[in-house]
Each structure stands twice: as structure tokens, then as C-alpha cells.
């Protein structure tokens, strides 16, 4: 059981995406105490569950008891149940809050027609981005299982976004739904892109390839980069102000290597946003 004033205790933050789960423990002042990540699969095998449990138990065993746990989960109900069980096993009485998008929070206003239909990862990520780049207009591009784009004005208004197949999903879909194309995983595709040369060389000219696997990996990379560049330019034309492009996610290295527009890398926006949500909720309870 935790002891002390809850809002002065560390907070456990968990970002459960479709491909992996990231977590961090932060002190009351926002300083990070520890962090980790674990890839997960669709498998429900006992061996996989045991691996999860053992790794998380080892990583959490030496940490101070937090005052609360905050979860953003877009990986489904089964993953949520497993995470809740792991948290309870380590800290039996720890409150676990599942974060969902709402109309307004931490200075961000949600323009979705149904605000809570917005993914919690996108919501927390925008909250984290606004805090990281205060007073700036932002386009946030996250390259995960899905590629998502969020347009966020400097005043905190989220005007809307886009969702497209992610880099790996795009390649896998081509392999699974065509008779003659290979199914490339991210590891194989990264090797093919790296063989082409440095990111600087990649930016100088077209990716035209002379074999099918490289044609596929390069084509999907350029499709991702083209979507982002087109959206960024259109947004600047519409708003008539500079817009910072912020990129992150598991495929950010690959897609960023093909981008020909200025961009800033940030890989912890969701966890940063969860920390801010936890802090605001604690302040509201104490008010």
C-alpha cells in the first residue's frame, strides 16, 4: 500500500500501443525515475504472458511505490486486463486510471465530433506536444502501426487529423494481398533502406530500385513521407503561419530519412502527456 500524500508520490505512466508497451515512472516534479518498453504480439500464449510478467516484475521491483498509475491503451481489452493484473501484482492497492480523450484537458481543446472517440494515445501526445513546444503551431506525425497526423494550433485547439496505414503495415498488406510481392517485415525493410546509403544520400534523389524488395520498401517509405510533406505544406498555406513538424514512433527513423522538410524528433509525447494529465487531475482533486 502506498503511503504519504498521493499527489506528492511518483506516478506510473503506461502507453500501450499496438506493437509495444512503454512505461515510465516520474517524480512529482516531473523528473523521470525509470522507464522501459516491451514489444507484444497478438499471441495469447502462456509463454508470452510469462515473459511479460517476469520482465515487468524485474523492472518494477526496485522502484518506489507510486501514488497512481495512468494508462493510455489502444491495444485492446486483453492487453488492458494483462496490464492491470501486472500493476496489481506489484502494487495491490494502486489506483489505475485509464485515460480517455475528452472535450478539454491540460490546455488542449478537442474538435472531434465525438471527443472520446479520439485515441487516447493521440490525445495524450497532443498534450505532451503542446507542453514541449509552447506557443507554436504544430503538425504531429506518429509512425506506429498506424500513421497519424494531428494539427494543433498554438492556442491548444486540435482542429483535426488523419490516419493512414503505418509503414510496416503498408508493406505487410502488399505482401499478403498480392500474388507476386514479398511480405517484408520492418527489420528486413530497414536493412534494404540502409543498404541504399546514408539518410543524406537518400534525400538527394528518387528511391528508384532495381529489385522488388527494395522497390517495395522504398515505395512505402516515400508514400509515408509524401503524406506528411503534403499535409505540412497545406497546413502552412491554410494557416499562413510557420508550423513545426514533430515526428515520432517506431518507424520515425525510416520515414524521416526520406523527408525533405524541416522536422523535430520527439519520442515520448504520450508519456509526457500522461504525466501532465496525472498532475492536472491531482491538482483538481486538491483544489
For residue 109, the cross-strand partners are: 104, 157
Plot region of 76 (φ>0 → left; ψ -120 to 50 → alpha; else → beta): left
Residue of 121, 155, 211, 253 with catalytic role: 121
Contact predicate 65/5, CB 8 Å: no
Three-point CA angle 253, 79, 116, nearest 5°: 80
Strand intervals (E) in the chain: 11-16, 20-26, 32-39, 68-73, 96-98, 104-105, 108-110, 137-143, 146-152, 157-165, 243-248, 264-265
List the one residue out of 167, 173, 169 whose CA is nearest residue 247: 167
H or E, element range at 197: none
Whole-number Å distance between alpha carbons of 274 and 127: 8
Three-point CA angle 242, 243, 249, nearest 5°: 155
Residue with C-alpha cell 515512472? 25
Contacts 24+ apart (CB under 8 A), 152-160: 152/108, 152/126, 153/239, 156/107, 156/108, 156/109, 156/130, 157/108, 157/109, 157/111, 158/108, 158/109, 158/110, 158/111, 158/112, 158/126, 159/111, 160/111, 160/112
List the one residue out of 15, 9, 10 whose CA is nearest residue 83: 15
Query: Among this protein's residues, is 234 annotated catalytic?
Result: no
Catalytic residues: 121
Amino acid at each position: 500500500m502506498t503511503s504519504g500524500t498521493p499527489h506528492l508520490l511518483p506516478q506510473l505512466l503506461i502507453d500501450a500501443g499496438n506493437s509495444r508497451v512503454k512505461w515510465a515512472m516520474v517524480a512529482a516534479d516531473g523528473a523521470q525515475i525509470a522507464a522501459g518498453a516491451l514489444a507484444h504480439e497478438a499471441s495469447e500464449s502462456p509463454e508470452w504472458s510469462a515473459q511479460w510478467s517476469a520482465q515487468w516484475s524485474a523492472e518494477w521491483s526496485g522502484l518506489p511505490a507510486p501514488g497512481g498509475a495512468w494508462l493510455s491503451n489502444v491495444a485492446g481489452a486483453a492487453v488492458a486486463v494483462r496490464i492491470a493484473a501486472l500493476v496489481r501484482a506489484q502494487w495491490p492497492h494502486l489506483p489505475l486510471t485509464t485515460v480517455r480523450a475528452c472535450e478539454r484537458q491540460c490546455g488542449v481543446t478537442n474538435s472531434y465530433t465525438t471527443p472520446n472517440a479520439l485515441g487516447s494515445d493521440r490525445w495524450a501526445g497532443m498534450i505532451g506536444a503542446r507542453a514541449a513546444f509552447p506557443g507554436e503551431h504544430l503538425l504531429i506525425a506518429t509512425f506506429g502501426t498506424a500513421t497519424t497526423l494531428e494539427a494543433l494550433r498554438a492556442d491548444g485547439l486540435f482542429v483535426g487529423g488523419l490516419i493512414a496505414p503505418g509503414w510496416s503495415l503498408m508493406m505487410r498488406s502488399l505482401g499478403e494481398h498480392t500474388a507476386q510481392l514479398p511480405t517484408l517485415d520492418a527489420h528486413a525493410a530497414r536493412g534494404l533502406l540502409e543498404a541504399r546509403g546514408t539518410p543524406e544520400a537518400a534525400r538527394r534523389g528518387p528511391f528508384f530500385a532495381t529489385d522488388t524488395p527494395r522497390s517495395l520498401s522504398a515505395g512505402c517509405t516515400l508514400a509515408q513521407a509524401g503524406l506528411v510533406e503534403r499535409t505540412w505544406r497545406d497546413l502552412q498555406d491554410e494557416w499562413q503561419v510557420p508550423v513545426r513538424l514533430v515526428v515520432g514512433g517506431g518507424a520515425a527513423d525510416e520515414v524521416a530519412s526520406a523527408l525533405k522538410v524541416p522536422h523535430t524528433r520527439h519520442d515520448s509525447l504520450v508519456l509526457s502527456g500522461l504525466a501532465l494529465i496525472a498532475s492536472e487531475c491531482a491538482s483538481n482533486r486538491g483544489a
